[in-house]
Structures are given as C-alpha cells and as structure tokens.
Structure 1
Amino acid sequence: MERKSIDAGKSGRKPSGAAVIRPELTTTLFKALFEEWAETGYAAISLERVAARAGAGKAAIYRRWPSKVEFACDAIQVVCLGLPDLGDCCSLRKELDAFLRKTRVVLRHPMIRKIILDAAAERDRTPELSAVLDAVVAARRRFGNGMLDRAIARNELQPDLDRELALDLLVSSIYMRMILRRKNVSIAELDKQAVVIESAIKAC
C-alpha cells in the first residue's frame, strides 16, 4: 500500500527535485518493522533501527508515513487483510481442515507469535492501532461467515445458528494452543480440532 507514491513517468527517470517511492523498499521496510516489533515490542520500536535493518535512511520512512503508528497500521493492513480463498470444499469439515491448516502455518512463525500477543496488549494504549486490528478481526469474521453460509446452503447447519459463538469457535482452540500455551499442533491434532469444532458449531 503506497500512501504517498510518486509517479516517475514512463521513462522511469526521477522527477526533478523529488524522491521516488520504490515499492520494493516499502516491502523491505515492512519486514524490518515486524522484525523490530518482535524483538522489542511496539512501544520500544525505533524507526532509526527499522531503517537501518532495511538498509535505508530514516527519511525513507517519513517520505511514506508521518508517524510510527501510521507505519505500523499500513504494515498490518498489507500483511493481514489478504485472506486466502478456500472456495467451496464441498463440506464444512473439509473447509475447517483447510482453514486450520492455513492458520497453523501463520501461527507457527515465531515472529508472528510475538507480535500477535504484543499487539493485543497495545490495543488499549494506541487507539489507531486498535482500529486497524479491529478491521483485521472483522475481515477474518467475514471470511468465517462465508464458511457458515456455504454450510447452511448445503443443509449442514441451521440458518438460525448463533453466528457470533460459531465464529469464536473457529479459532479459539488453535489460538489457545499455539499462542497462549505456546504449543505446536500436529496435523492429527488439527484433524481432531476440526471434528470437535464442527460438532460444536452444529450445536450453536
């Protein structure tokens, strides 16, 4: 996401007196930000260190974002709002299996584990960060609602199910195991979770 992209024109030459915002450097800056965040926590992030990690000057950050919080919010939106399209897997169980496997891949990353916990702790202190995290959660729940809609259309679920509870159930067990308890989850355990979650959702 480029908040202040500058068009260099078809020739590719820099406009006179202006710096060109390079997308590849923006991506590198996002990666450096997340590395710093995982090591220090959000409150202690140093933009000087982030720039140094990216092999750039601090001005490269301020050409793109006026503050640390806007930098962090853009990074979260770019990385977290893109959701894989599972499509119709023909049954709720298969969709749950696919969803849990993709979630497991994300939560196994040690950097992501640290950032998730720190971001949750930071929500009450940083309203702007809280707003973008709310947007990420809302996007995840829309994705989950798609799964529920397809299951209802296949007559696997009742139309009047408690959706809020069902959506909570989709991620609660894997989040508890991998983030709060810091345990790995095997594929066999994921399969068991899918069975239990399906049964629980059907009881909603």
Structure 2
Amino acid sequence: MTPSIPLLQPDDCALLLVDQQAGLAFGVSSMDRQTLLNNTVALARTAEVFKLPVVASTSATKVYSGPLMPAVHAALPDVEVLDRRNMNAWEDAAVRAAVLATGRRKLVVSGLLTEACVSFTVLSALAEGFEVHVVGDACGGLTPVSHDLALRRMAAAGAVMTSWLQVLLELQRDWTRHETYDGARAIVEANGGGYGIGLAYARDMIHPA
C-alpha cells in the first residue's frame, strides 16, 4: 500500500496572485526585481500547465500600483483580474468568493508586498481553515529583513514556505507524466537558471546509446 504523502496535487490546489503590479514592484528590495518577475512568471506558467484554478487580484490600479504586470498576465491570458481597495484581499467579497468558488482548500500564494497584502491575506485564509503555501521567492518585500519577518510570521501561523521550482516539481513529481512533461520542462528551461541550462544541454547533447 502506497503511503499517504502531504504533497500538492494539481487537482487539490489553486493559485492566488495578490498585487503583482509594477507600482508595488518598484518598492521591492528584498530581491532583484527581474528575478522576482522571472519567478512569478514561472509560477503563473506552472499554474497554466497543470490547470490550476487561478484567482488574481490587484489594488489601487488607477491611482498608484498599475495593472497586473504584463508578463504575468501574458502567462495567464484567460484570468479575470479582480481589483479592490483594501490591503487584505481576503476581506474583499469578490476575491474571497472567487477563491471559494474554486472548491480548493489548498492555496498557493504569490504577491506584493510580503509585509502587508500577502501576509494579511495568508493569515486570514489560515484562520478560515485553508492550507496555504507561500511561494517566498515569488513574493517581494520592502527590505530583506521585513520580507523575512513577514515570512516567519506566516510560517509561525501555519503557512508552508516554498519556492516556485518546488511547486512545479511537486506537481510534476514523475517525469513520466507525459501530459505535463513538455510544459513543465519548458518552464524549467526558460526560467530555471542553471538547472534549465542543464536540461537544455542534456536534451541537445546527450543521446542514449
């Protein structure tokens, strides 16, 4: 009998994107902004490949933050973006209803800024009984210290800390899963740095006898 393992499955989780907007990304200094964008796009593409329900929310689009970043939207061309005024997306009726409508009790969360809109939303979802996985390298904070403290607070409340690559590999898990193999591999090659370079090299140069 195969033991039960508490890993993400494509059919049990949804992706929640919170305020992935350029106006907020300008203030990020917890990591290189281009790396942050790369990681967020990779996560969005992962959701598309594995057919995860996606809820995307923005705030203050007209007055400060701008729309969902074009590269992220391009990775999720069919997503409807829900704009709101409050910092905590969970307190917005439309966003919360959209999450509940997915029927998924596991949330994978990415967003800006870690110290506010991400952590407030995550803490509220946890309090309502959701299992929340925070993609730390697809979230950005105002400083490395404040970003780290926000991640620690969410972890202490029960959130699972993860990375975009771990999410992708956790959903794929077996490279003989042919229905998602090409899509998953393409994401790693395009967004996975040295790991992606290695996969491309292996494909082009190493041939079985």
- Taking structure 1 as the reference length, the TM-score comes to 0.27
- Identify, as 1 or 2, the structure richer in strand: 2
TM-score by length of 2: 0.26
Larger radius of gyration: 1
Bigger RCO (CA 8 Å, 6+ sep):
2
